């Protein structure tokens, strides 16, 4: 009997000793349609039924092995053991009660690792089973001969994961290539500083542009003016002297008038602008 070193050994008896030997040629993945740990699955098979799999897996990805992979297990109908002595290795995995949820990331990793070991230990070929008896990898509903009366197991979401993630990763790792599911450490997105590279003149010109825009006539203010123009009557005229400079600012500045206004309002931008005869506004 062969025991997977990555699993907790929880041997089922008398099945482990009494059931006939097989030559493993397939790996079939199941969902148990219950949110059970590998320990709870063992208890169920030990006390209630003889339709066991070789392995059980919890949501956290941990795996238990109940029967050696060279002994028949009975979860795969006609694939359990064929007349030529070949048979399937099977795993039951925790799921919701309708097996409609996807495998967790930890379950995916556990299935990939087990799949690689089965290739290395038993030579299961790196292909999806083309027929019910064809050596390779599959999931319970892939072939009718694997389930009495048919089944939806392991569910649509998990079938897609098998095709798109799990099986390609088994092939890659077993072939010595980087796994397409190698986890990466998430990093916080890098946000560009809108003030990066701003010179003092850029800041002054941006504020000048924003102030000029804010002093445009608005219907909310009696007379169509802006409160700032009423407080400093000469300010608008002084700004107008810089029309040519202001016209070029939108392409030059990295901050929009609204962004500058918000930055001034929340205190992240502090600028003093001096307007004096024969002088150019500067940032201090």
Q: What's 191's DSSP letter?
A: P
Phi and psi, residue 139, nearest 5°: -130, 160
CB 127 within 8 A of CB 182: no
Question: Phi-psi category of 221—alpha, beta or left, where left has phi over 0 and alpha has psi -120 to 50?
Answer: beta
What is the pLDDT, as a whole number, of residue 114?
Answer: 97
**Nearest Cα to Cα of residue 81 among 14, 170, 21:** 21
What is the pLDDT, as a whole number, of residue 119?
Answer: 97
* pLDDT, tens digit, 9 for 90 and up, residues 189-242: 444 444 555 566 666 666 665 565 555 554 444 554 555 445 444 555 555 555
- The two structure tokens encoding residue 283: 């940032």
Edge-to-edge strands, sheet with 63-65: 8-9, 63-65, 55-57, 86-93, 23-31, 136-139
Helix (H) or strand (E) holding 93: strand 86-93
Dihedral sign computed on CA atoms, order 18, 21, 24, 26: negative
What is the pLDDT, as a whole number, of residue 190?
Answer: 40
* pLDDT, tens digit, 9 for 90 and up, residues 53-74: 999 999 999 999 999 999 999 9
Q: What is the mean pLDDT of the chain?
A: 79
Which pTM was predicted? Answer: 0.63
| Token pair 């006539």 in the structure block, residue | 217
Pairing of strands 63-65, 86-93: unpaired
What is the pLDDT, as a whole number, of residue 275?
Answer: 47
Provide the residue-wise pLDDT of the chain in tens; the chain has 284 residues: 799 999 999 999 988 889 999 999 999 999 999 999 999 999 988 887 678 999 999 999 999 999 999 999 999 999 999 999 999 999 999 999 988 999 999 999 999 999 999 999 999 999 999 999 999 999 999 999 999 888 999 999 999 999 999 999 999 999 988 766 444 434 444 444 445 555 666 666 666 655 655 555 544 445 545 554 454 445 555 555 555 555 555 555 556 666 766 776 777 666 565 544 444 444 44
| Burial classification of residue 81, based on how many CB atoms lie within 10 Å of its CB (0-12 exposed, 13-18 middle, 19 or more buried) | buried
């Amino acid at each position: 009997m062969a025991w997977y070193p990555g699993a907790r050994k929880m041997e089922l008896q008398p099945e482990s000793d009494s059931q006939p030997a097989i030559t493993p040629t397939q790996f079939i993945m199941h969902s148990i349609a219950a949110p059970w740990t590998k320990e709870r699955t063992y208890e169920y098979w030990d006390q209630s039924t003889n339709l066991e799999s070789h392995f059980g897996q919890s949501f956290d990805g941990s795996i238990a092995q109940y029967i050696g992979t060279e002994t028949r297990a009975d979860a795969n109908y006609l694939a359990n053991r064929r007349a030529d002595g070949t048979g399937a290795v099977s795993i039951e995995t925790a799921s919701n009660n309708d097996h409609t949820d996807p495998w967790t990331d930890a379950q995916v990793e556990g299935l990939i690792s087990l799949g690689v070991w089965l290739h290395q230990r038993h030579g299961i070929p790196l292909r999806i089973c083309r027929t019910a008896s064809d050596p390779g990898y599959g999931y319970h509903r892939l072939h009718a001969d694997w389930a009495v009366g048919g089944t939806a197991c392991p569910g649509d979401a998990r079938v897609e994961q098998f095709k798109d993630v799990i099986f390609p990763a088994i092939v890659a790792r077993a072939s010595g290539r980087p796994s397409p599911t190698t986890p990466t450490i998430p990093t916080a997105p890098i946000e560009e500083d809108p003030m990066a590279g701003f010179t003092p003149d850029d800041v002054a010109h941006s504020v000048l542009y924003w102030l000029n825009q804010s002093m445009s006539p608005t219907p909310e203010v009696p007379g169509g003016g802006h409160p700032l123009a009423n407080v400093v009557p000469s300010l608008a005229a002084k700004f107008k002297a810089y029309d040519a400079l202001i016209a070029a600012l939108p392409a030059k500045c990295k901050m929009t008038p609204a962004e500058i206004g918000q930055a001034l309002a929340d205190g992240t931008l502090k600028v003093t602008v001096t307007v004096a005869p024969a002088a150019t506004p500067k940032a201090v």
